[in-house]
Chain A
Amino acid sequence: MDFGFCLSPSSHVKMDSIDLTTFNRLKETNPDVNTCIACGSCTATCTAGNFTEMSFRRLLLMLQRGKEDEAKKMIQRCMLCGKCTLVCPRGINIRKILLDITR
């Protein structure tokens, strides 16, 4: 029966059931991923971010919140220019992490 409306999906991130395989795999080779302090420098300087919604800070969070599909879509925008790595105050090897996600 068409009621003209339907159940809207929950916007909650359900931490009990999210799949962290990719993030955990990443963590093994890049312990850096844990040290992000979400300052957003990477996003602000991003060459691709100048034209798109690319944000490494958010991308890391997506992986930690089970939004792997969104993360994979976002990472396609990256030009690997490495500016993010240069500005990261925690010295995270962002370019390596980005490459590792795509391989």
Chain B
Amino acid sequence: MIIEGKQKIWADYQKDIPDDHYFYVRSCIRQAFFPGSEVTFLDITRNKLGKDFYENPYHTTCGGIAYHSDTIPQETAMTIIARQFALMKESGYENYVCSCITSFGCYTETLETWHEYPELEAKIRQYLWDSCKKEFAKPKYLAHASDIIYKFRFEIAKQMKFPLVNAKTGKPLKVVEHIGCHYSKMFPSKGFGGAEYPHVLVGMIEAWGGEVVDYPERRQCCGFGFRQYFVQANRGYSESNTHKKFESMEPYEPDLIITNCPGCPYFLDRWQYVIAEQTGKTYGKNGYGIPALTYEEVAGLVMGYDPWDLGLQMHQVAIEPLLEKMGIPYDPKKKYQGLNGKDLGQPMCPSCIKSV
């Protein structure tokens, strides 16, 4: 690997991110899958980095799932997006930050389409007016939430308590980065580092002391693919994608996977359990899996947030070995206690992959 070659590409694919005042929109599924992630993101940016993030309580889904599952036409999806933009305008913001990669893809696609076909934009403007009596303004900057963390990765590093380093050996952790497909594969120029060698997560890993693993199936999709996952009979395809990635990364013995998409961490996490059940194989050491975390969770961990506050108990793959590696203290008893201290109840233990 010639790192200079990558650096050259990274330098070619940079984009402007404003310094402050962002309009934040959430992801539909992340709040259910990894409920701590978005909260942590807002807490880090607002309280640790002192940035202005505004959330409008009226914002909705971007319509991406329905759009990609072919249940709504493009115009409908665009009108939903136009309404989000209208909310931003009403709130007095012009820097739009979304939490979801699918959304990021939809927003980018919509803005690019409007750019190429202004008549379509006019049509959507009319639809939005007809349906909601709202008027939108296109955001001045569109960013994904991981772009924000990327931008402030060195500020975060300054406040870091537990770097991505094995506390016992002092060696950097081996980290697999997995980018959501819709982050830059559709519009390479819209992502940090482009489509082939994205830098957005690599930058975080390097800034926080980890070592990036570049394995042959790095570019492979996690296998979420709306149409594949939503139909039970097709889920095998979805699972097979993930399986292929794990088979490819296994020899590198990664300690951690970091992702920036709602679906990827979920699938990279949950499929490990399914694969273990079906084939008896686990990819971590000693019968454990490889933790697949969101970038917010990783940021939270390195900044010293309590793992259970980050919602890491919601992961199928046990997080404890990683915490021990990084030397992060945790109270095992509190794993299944809610924020109010109430017992959440313990999940059943799978037979083939260790969960504690």
A and B touch in the complex (CB under 8 A): yes
Digitize A3-41: 1 where CB-to-B-CB distance is under 8 Å, 0 elsewhere.
Answer: 111111010000000000000000000000000000000
Interface size on A, residues (CB 8 A): 8
Digitize A82-96: 1 where CB-to-B-CB distance is under 8 Å, 0 elsewhere.
Answer: 000000000000000
Selected from A1, A4, A7, A10, the residue in CB contact (under 8 A) with B233 is: A4
Task: Name 6 interchain pairs, CB-CB below 8 A, sorted by A.
Answer: A3-B277, A3-B278, A5-B236, A6-B236, A7-B278, A10-B244
- Knowing A10-B240, A10-B244 touch, does A4 contact B277 (C-beta < 8 A)? no
Of all A-B residue pairs in the complex, the 10 with the closest CB atoms, nearest first, are A5-B235, A5-B236, A8-B236, A8-B240, A1-B277, A4-B232, A7-B240, A6-B236, A8-B237, A7-B243
B275 in contact with A7 (CB, 8 Å): yes
Selected from B232, B234, B236, the residue in CB contact (under 8 A) with A7 is: B236
Q: How many interface residues does chain B have, given as a range? A: 10 to 19
B233 in contact with A5 (CB, 8 Å): yes
A5 in contact with B234 (CB, 8 Å): yes
Main secondary structure of the interface of B (DSSP, over half): helix
Q: Which residue of A lies closest to B237 (CB)?
A: A8
Digitize B201-237: 1 where CB-to-A-CB distance is under 8 Å, 0 elsewhere.
Answer: 0000000000000000000000000000000111111
Interface positions, chain B 38-89, Cβ under 8 Å from A, are none
Q: Which residue of B lies closest to A3 (CB)?
A: B274
**A8–B236 CA distance with the chains assembled, in angstroms:** 6
Digitize B132-163: 1 where CB-to-A-CB distance is under 8 Å, 0 elsewhere.
Answer: 00000000000000000000000000000000
CB proximity of A95 to chain B, nearest CB, Å: 41
Count: A-B pairs, CB below 8 Å: 30
A5 in contact with B232 (CB, 8 Å): yes
Query: Apart from A3-B278, A8-B236, what 11 extra A-B contacts exist at CB < 8 Å?
Result: A1-B278, A3-B235, A4-B233, A5-B239, A6-B236, A6-B278, A7-B239, A7-B275, A7-B279, A8-B240, A10-B244
Q: Which residues of A contact B234 (CB under 8 A)?
A: 5
**A23–B233 CA distance with the chains assembled, in angstroms:** 37
Q: Which residues of B contact A10 (CB under 8 A)?
A: 240, 244
Interface positions, chain B 236-250, Cβ under 8 Å from A, are 236-237, 239-240, 243-244
Q: Which residues of B contact A8 (CB under 8 A)?
A: 236-237, 240
Interface positions, chain B 259-286, Cβ under 8 Å from A, are 274-275, 277-279
Q: Which residues of A contact B240 (CB under 8 A)?
A: 7-8, 10
**A4–B233 CA distance with the chains assembled, in angstroms:** 7
Q: Which residue of A lies closest to B234 (CB)?
A: A5
**A5–B277 CA distance with the chains assembled, in angstroms:** 12
The residue among A1, A6, A7, A10 with the most chain B CB atoms within 10 A of its own CB is A7
**A5–B232 CA distance with the chains assembled, in angstroms:** 7
**A4–B229 CA distance with the chains assembled, in angstroms:** 12
Q: Which residues of B contact A5 (CB under 8 A)?
A: 232-236, 239
Q: Which residue of A lies closest to B239 (CB)?
A: A7
CB proximity of B237 to chain A, nearest CB, Å: 6
CB proximity of B268 to chain A, nearest CB, Å: 15
CB proximity of A85 to chain B, nearest CB, Å: 42
**A8–B233 CA distance with the chains assembled, in angstroms:** 11
Q: Which residues of A contact B275 (CB under 8 A)?
A: 7
Q: Which residue of B lies closest to A6 (CB)?
A: B236
Q: Which residue of B lies closest to A11 (CB)?
A: B240
**A3–B233 CA distance with the chains assembled, in angstroms:** 10
CB proximity of B230 to chain A, nearest CB, Å: 12
Q: Which residues of B contact A6 (CB under 8 A)?
A: 236, 239, 278
Interface positions, chain A 32-86, Cβ under 8 Å from B, are none
Q: Which residue of A lies closest to B279 (CB)?
A: A7
**A60–B243 CA distance with the chains assembled, in angstroms:** 31
Q: Which residues of B contact A3 (CB under 8 A)?
A: 235, 274, 277-278
**A1–B353 CA distance with the chains assembled, in angstroms:** 13
The residue among A3, A5, A6 with the most chain B CB atoms within 10 A of its own CB is A5
**A8–B277 CA distance with the chains assembled, in angstroms:** 15
**A74–B236 CA distance with the chains assembled, in angstroms:** 29
